[in-house]
Amino acid sequence: MTTLSRTMVPEPLMSIRAAEKSYRLRMGFMASLMGKRVPEIRAVEDVDLDIGKGEVVALAGESGSGKTTLGKVLSLLEPPTSGSIWFDGLQLETLSGREKRRMRRRIQMIFQDPYESLDPRFTIFQTLHEPLIVHGIKDGGVTHRDMTRDVLDRVELRPPEDFLDRYPHELSGGQRQRVAVARAIILHPDFIVADEPVSMMDASVRAGVMNMMLRLKNQLSLTYLFITHDLAVARYMADRIAIMYLGELVEVGNTDTVINQPAHPYTQILLSAVPIPDPTYGRKRVAVPGEIPSPTDKPSGCRFHPRCPYTEDICRHRRPGIVPLVDGHLARCHFALGVQGGNKTKKDRSAG
């Protein structure tokens, strides 16, 4: 049903096919005695995605859409419940423990909150040194100290000597996130999953970290999955944007296309809600009824139908498949073409 053969991704570095991740909720002892079914959350459902070598793919969506879960699956922190992931030609599920560990060197993750992701009792040197020890990198010709100095220089914490012996609490939020980036690149990875790496920063600091990440991508031939809830940030960083809603990818396409000709009603609504930093722009507000539903209780048919302005009968009953549009642009909507072209009439409904 969901074939992505038409996607125009040159040489995918990572390919995800029908990936799913479910969690079982804990339930009370009594409830289990009564033989109730263990509730399950399908945080990620039926995700197909190719990420090309050297690409930046932004994964965008509201909180609760499953973007962090998908990020964890792609960075090997969590195994998928089903489906398969290929990385550079290897299928990850089939790897032995030793092979998997080698693979972890090539895939790194940067987390949202550098206050929590750095050990407060480690100096910056210890933080950067730890992955070298864990992965048994030789402290030889190029010493570990040299390697840590080199990555600090690359993330523009200069001079590196001034930072090596400091603790995270002595650094600003932006500097800490730079340390987290340094830790991610010290093992020379190919692929980095960055989960909202700039969402806690002030604008001018954020711009600096984003520019640095783009520069590092070019210098070190990296590939990023950049998770963000901010479409303006996604536009700045990404070659392609993937929009997630309730565990599904609902739209994937080139940044320009997704931003300017979105084909899924949810993407249109997300875009119309982004405030524009220009007082003369005159943005038109589209009222969306309700908020993102709980993933324990997903709507039937199209997951978005209760909030969609274009809902028809088929949307309530049948879950839409992926509709391929031009240039590898994909949208999971029965009416993708009409929505994109603006030929679909909206149902009149009042905001709830």
Partner 1 sequence: MEDRLLLDLQKLETRYSVGRADVHAVRDVSLKVHRGETLGLVGESGCGKSTLGYSILRILPENGRIVNGHCLMEGSDLLSLSEDELVNYRWSKLSMIFQGAMNALNPVLRVDDILYEILRAHKDVSRAEAMERIKELFDLVGLARDHMTSYAHELSGGMRQRVVIAMSLLCNPSLIIADEPTTAFDVVVQDQILAALEGIQDKLGIGMMLITHDIAVIAETCDRVAVMYAGQIVEQSSTEAIFHAPAHPYTAAMLNSFPSVRGPARCLVSLRGAPPDLTNPPLGCAFAPRCPLAVEQCREANPPLEDLTTDAQHLARCYFAGSDAVTEAWSAEESQTGGAGG
206 binds partner 1 (CB under 8 A): yes
203 binds partner 1 (CB under 8 A): yes
Sign, CA torsion 100/105/111/117: positive
202 binds partner 1 (CB under 8 A): yes
Chosen residue from 10, 275, 343, 348 binding partner 1 by CB under 8 A: 275
Task: Report in angstroms how near the CB of residue 328 gets to partner 1 at its nearest.
Answer: 14
Structure tokens at 342: 């603006």
* Residue nearer to partner 1 on the CB measure, 235 or 305: 235
- Identify the three-state secondary structure at position 119: coil
Q: Which residues are CB-neighbours of 183 under 8 A, at least 6 positions away?
A: 127, 128, 131, 151
Chosen residue from 81, 153, 167, 208 binding partner 1 by CB under 8 A: 208
What is the rounded distance in angstroms from the CA atom of residue 127 to the CA atom of residue 184? Answer: 11
Ordered strands of the 191-195 beta sheet: 107-110, 191-195, 223-228, 56-60, 240-245, 248-254, 330-331, 323-324
Measured at the alpha carbon of residue 205, what is the angle toward residues 259 and 179, in degrees to the nearest 5?
Answer: 110
* Residue nearer to partner 1 on the CB measure, 187 or 308: 308
Binding pattern for the stretch 3-42 against partner 1, x by CB under 8 A and - elsewhere = ----------------------------------------
The packing angle between helices 203-220 and 144-154, to 10°, is 120
Q: Which residues are CB-neighbours of 207 under 8 A, at least 6 positions away?
A: none
User: H or E stretch including 213?
Assistant: helix 203-220
287 binds partner 1 (CB under 8 A): yes
Residues in region 35-74 near partner 1 by CB under 8 A: 56, 62-63
274 binds partner 1 (CB under 8 A): yes
* Residue nearer to partner 1 on the CB measure, 80 or 163: 163
HSE toward the beta carbon, residue 98, CA cutoff 13 A: 0
312 binds partner 1 (CB under 8 A): no
What is the rounded distance in angstroms from the CA atom of residue 116 to the CA atom of residue 240? Answer: 29
Binding pattern for the stretch 125-164 against partner 1, x by CB under 8 A and - elsewhere = ----------------------------------------
Chosen residue from 207, 261, 312, 328 binding partner 1 by CB under 8 A: 207
Instruction: Give contact residues for partner 1 (rule: CB under 8 A).
Output: 56, 62-63, 172, 202-212, 214-215, 217, 229-239, 254-256, 259, 269-271, 273-281, 283, 285, 287-288, 291-292, 351-352
